[in-house]
Amino acid sequence: MIARRRARIARLRRRVHYILDGGVANRTARVAHALIISLVVLSVASVVLETVPNLQKRYGLLFDAIELAALVGFSVEYALRIWGAPESAPYFGMSPWRARLAYARTPYAIVDLLTIVPFYLGLFLPGDFRVLLLLRLARFFKLARYSPGMRSLAAALQAERKALGASTVIIFGVVLTMASAMHIAEHVAQPDKFGSIPESMWWAVVTITTVGYGDVVPITVAGRIIAGVTAFMGFLLLALPVGIVATAFAEEIHRREFVVTWSMIAHVPLFSTLDASEIAEIMHYLRAQTVPADTIVVRRGEEAHCMYFVAVGEVQVELPHDKVRLGEGQFFGEIAVLRKTRRTATVRTTLPSKLLALDAGDLATLMARNPEIGRRIEDAIAAYGNVNALTPRGDMTAAEVGQPSQD
């Protein structure tokens, strides 16, 4: 009895974890993510707008209601994420409590905690603490969890932290040097503005960052020469971290897309015997297509000449007696790259989607250019045998529409 109860709790915990951290192929997860994102946007907008006296006076009750809804929603979300942490891959093998403590120290969990801390601090600390406003605005960073671009940027910054640290040291050294030189050149003429090196550092920072407020300017010839050199060095120095981050970000995006696409191709039985380098060769022949929601991709009965991978979004396969949804990482039309055939079903997008198409002609060209890849694919075809097509001379197999669903 106890074992059965624990098993039910474990299944429920896995389900909760997948809904909160699963892919968009799961409709329940999509709804949960959309609700959280909407709540983040509403709460941040409320925090900003309530600082306008007229709006606060007129819509104060609405702002309070949004804040209460955000507090309840984010508190429940945080508690469920902590509870479901043992189901996360990085914490497999840990005891439940160790896994939860490890998750609680991650940046995502810290941001989640900061989104609810202001209210609970306000219960025990009387007074008007303006710093709590900044903590409430930290909710904006919850969006990073749902933005691949923001996650890639964070990964790029993490990967290049040493180079960024080195460039920061160089910039600080130049700021200190230029501030010291300006102090020597201007401290007699303007003791109130350049009377010390720390005071001169404000001018150096403003000049090197090319902001140039104009509140502090040199008036001596030596000071103006130093200012010119400092301004010129500012252009060179700022290019260091910008170039480092831009290069790392582009590499991270390319790496993420490569891994995702490689994984999709590797799951196709036809290509299951290929190694990483050979799959990378196939990737060069993939053609990306951005398709709006509710758009027909292929029609039943028309000639088939390529297979499709769902990179982003979701499609619905409209079979004669059933409808099947395929999400990110799934594919359809595999037989089309093996032989001439016709479409088994009409396939339409249910969400804005990005599809990757592999043409039979391109695959044949690759097999001719690279005999080793051709031999491996032919071996896979032989092992595959007479594929279990859904319909005679059709392009889809039973395995395709039976791909594991994320729901």
Read off the pLDDT of each residue in 96-103 and give the average, rounded to a whole number. Answer: 89
pLDDT band with cut points at 50, 70 and 90 for residue 93: confident
pLDDT by residue (tens digit) across 76-90? 999 999 998 888 877
pLDDT at 400 > cutoff 60: no
d(CA 167, CA 50): 40
- DSSP sequence for 68-131: HHHHHHHHHHHHHHHHHGGGSGGGTTS-HHHHHHHHHTSHHHHHHHHTTHHHHHHHHS-S--TH
d(CA 306, CA 315): 16
Candidates 3.40.50.1820, 1.10.287.70, 3.40.640.10, 3.40.50.12280; correct CATH number of 161-257?
Answer: 1.10.287.70
pLDDT at 301 > cutoff 50: yes
pLDDT of residue 79: 92
Are 132 and 139 in contact by the 8 Å Cβ rule? The answer is no
Q: How far apart are the first and last CA of the chain?
A: 28
pLDDT of residue 173: 93
Degrees to nearest 5, angle at CA 387 with 382 and 392: 135
pLDDT band with cut points at 50, 70 and 90 for residue 391: low
pLDDT at 62 > cutoff 70: yes
At residue 6, the 3 state secondary structure works out as helix
Least confidently predicted of 120-129, 236-245, 262-271: 120-129
pLDDT at 177 > cutoff 90: yes
pLDDT at 395 > cutoff 60: no
Provide the CA 281 distance to its chain's centre, in angstroms: 26
pLDDT at 274 > cutoff 60: yes
Least confidently predicted of 16-25, 172-181, 216-225, 349-358: 16-25
pLDDT at 168 > cutoff 80: yes
Which overall architecture, per CATH, does domain 2-146 show? Answer: Up-down Bundle (1.20)
**What's the maximum distance between 2 C-alpha atoms anywhere in the chain?**
94
pLDDT of residue 126: 61
pLDDT of residue 31: 85
Read off the pLDDT of each residue in 55-64 and give the average, rounded to a whole number. Answer: 89
Instruction: Residue 103: count other Cβ atoms within 10 Å of its Cβ.
Output: 19
pLDDT of residue 366: 81
If we measure between CA atoms, which residue out of 344, 310, 339 comes closest to residue 326? 310
For the stretch 109-117, contacts whose Cβ atoms lie closer than 8 Å and that sit 24 or more positions apart, written own/partner, are 109/78, 109/81, 109/82, 111/138, 111/141, 111/142, 111/144, 112/74, 112/77, 112/78, 112/81, 112/142, 113/78, 114/138, 115/70, 115/74, 115/78, 115/139, 115/142, 116/71, 116/74, 116/75, 116/78
267-401: which CATH topology? Jelly Rolls (2.60.120)
Provide the CA 140 distance to its chain's centre, in angstroms: 14
pLDDT band with cut points at 50, 70 and 90 for residue 169: very high
Determine what percent of the chain falls in helix, strand and coil, rounding each to the nearest 5: 65, 10, 25
pLDDT at 392 > cutoff 70: no
pLDDT of residue 67: 87
pLDDT band with cut points at 50, 70 and 90 for residue 385: very low
The residue written with tokens 């409209």 in the block is: 318
pLDDT at 407 > cutoff 50: no
Q: How buried is 374 (Cβ within 10 angstroms: 0-12 exposed, 13-18 middle, 19+ buried)?
A: middle
At residue 190, the 3 state secondary structure works out as coil
d(CA 2, CA 13): 16
pLDDT by residue (tens digit) across 253-272? 877 777 777 777 777 766 77
pLDDT of residue 344: 81
Which one is predicted more confidently, 339 or 166?
A: 166
Tokens standing for residue 174: 């130049």
Domain boundaries along the sequence of the chain: 2-146, 161-257, 267-401
The per-residue pLDDT of the chain, averaged, comes to 82
Instruction: Residue 324: count other Cβ atoms within 10 Å of its Cβ.
Output: 19
Least confidently predicted of 161-165, 222-226, 311-315: 311-315
pLDDT of residue 73: 92
At residue 356, the 3 state secondary structure works out as strand
Read off the pLDDT of each residue in 281-289 and give the average, rounded to a whole number. Answer: 84
Tokens standing for residue 90: 């990085």
pLDDT band with cut points at 50, 70 and 90 for residue 225: very high
Read off the pLDDT of each residue in 379-384 and give the average, rounded to a whole number. Answer: 63
Read off the pLDDT of each residue in 312-330 and give the average, rounded to a whole number. Answer: 83
If we measure between CA atoms, which residue out of 247, 235, 401 comes closest to residue 331? 401
pLDDT of residue 266: 76
d(CA 398, CA 268): 13
pLDDT band with cut points at 50, 70 and 90 for residue 115: confident
Sequence letter at residue 285: Y
Which one is predicted more confidently, 64 or 267?
A: 64
- What is the dihedral angle through the alpha carbons of 354, 144, 80, 44, rounded to the nearest 10 degrees? -120
